[in-house]
């Protein structure tokens, strides 16, 4: 079975090491670095503006890196931005995707225009647009963790994240601007194991609830942790991922 794991914004493919170590030997896990993160091409090297960046651009980059999105059967893991990308992948090539295992995919575009959760995440995006890269990075990291989290990180990690903040801006544009609705996601018939954190922000918890109500073949499990649970609480979250995968066979 071929599995592909897609990481969150301000992360890289290495975030899936814990999962990779716990998978049976016969399962192959690929965890590519997405644009702007890890060893992938910097976002600034692309000829695309942040405002027009879309998930289709990210999937095209994965294909250029040597992964054929049409060649299945694939099990896609995804966390946050990576989860949104996995859902986009499944909509584009549903016959290639055997199943989805997702932790809070942030498909913000499904939030109703007048919903308080939409207003919350839109306010975060708009605030970051008015800030310096360092301020925007702190705003982003603290929103998904807790106030003061960014300042507590080692300076080398802070500097790396600040250097990647331009891609975070593009990620937000892709997530808010994806041309898809809940009706589009309702057409996905493959099994979906959806996880969400009880301590996560309203925006991602609301998205998870909407998807759980929409996807026709979904199992929704809440976990006592936050949005960054796959990274902050891998001992809690990773076994849930591996268990979901085992139950697919």
CATH code of residue 43? 3.40.50.1820
pTM: 0.97
Mind listing the pLDDT tens digit for each residue in 2-29?
Answer: 899 999 999 999 999 999 999 988 888 9
Q: How far apart are CA 212 and CA 216, in angstroms?
A: 8
Mind listing the pLDDT tens digit for each residue in 193-206?
Answer: 999 999 999 999 99
Whether 178 has a pLDDT exceeding 70, the answer reads: yes
Per the CB < 8 A criterion, the answer to whether 189 and 94 are in contact is yes
Which range marks the domain in which residue 122 is found?
Answer: 2-246
Averaged confidence pLDDT in the chain: 96
The tokens for 64 are 């250029």
pLDDT reported for residue 1: 79
Q: Report the C-alpha dihedral over residues 232, 235, 237, 241, rounded to 10 degrees.
A: 130
Three-state DSSP class for residue 248: coil
Could you tell me the pLDDT band of residue 249, with boundaries at 50, 70 and 90? low
Q: What residues pair up with 4 in beta bridges, in sequence order?
A: 30, 76
Mind listing the pLDDT tens digit for each residue in 92-106?
Answer: 999 999 999 999 999
CA 6 distance to own-chain centroid:
7
Domain count within the chain: 1
């Amino acid at each position: 079975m071929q599995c592909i794991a897609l990481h969150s914004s301000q992360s890289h493919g290495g975030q899936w090491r814990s999962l990779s170590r716990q998978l049976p030997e016969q399962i192959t896990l690929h965890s590519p670095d997405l644009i702007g993160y890890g060893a992938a091409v910097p976002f600034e090297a692309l000829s695309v503006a942040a405002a027009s960046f879309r998930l289709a651009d990210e999937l095209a980059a994965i294909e250029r890196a040597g992964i054929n999105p049409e060649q299945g059967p694939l099990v896609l893991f995804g966390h946050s931005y990576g989860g949104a990308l996995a859902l986009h992948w499944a909509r584009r090539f549903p016959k290639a995707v055997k199943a989805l295992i997702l932790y809070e995919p942030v498909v913000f575009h499904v939030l109703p225009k007048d919903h308080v959760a939409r207003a919350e995440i839109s306010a975060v995006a708009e605030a970051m647009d008015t800030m310096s890269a360092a301020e925007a990075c702190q705003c982003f990291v603290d929103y998904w963790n807790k106030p003061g989290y960014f300042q507590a990180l080692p300076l080398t990690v802070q500097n790396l994240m600040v250097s990647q903040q331009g891609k975070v801006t593009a990620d937000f544009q892709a997530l808010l601007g994806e041309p898809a609705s809940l009706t589009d996601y309702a057409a996905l018939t493959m099994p979906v194991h959806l996880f969400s954190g009880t301590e996560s922000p309203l925006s991602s918890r609301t998205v998870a609830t909407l998807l759980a109500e929409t996807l026709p073949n979904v199992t929704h499990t809440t976990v006592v942790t936050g949005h960054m649970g796959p990274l902050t609480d891998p001992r809690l979250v990773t076994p849930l991922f591996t268990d979901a995968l085992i139950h697919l066979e």
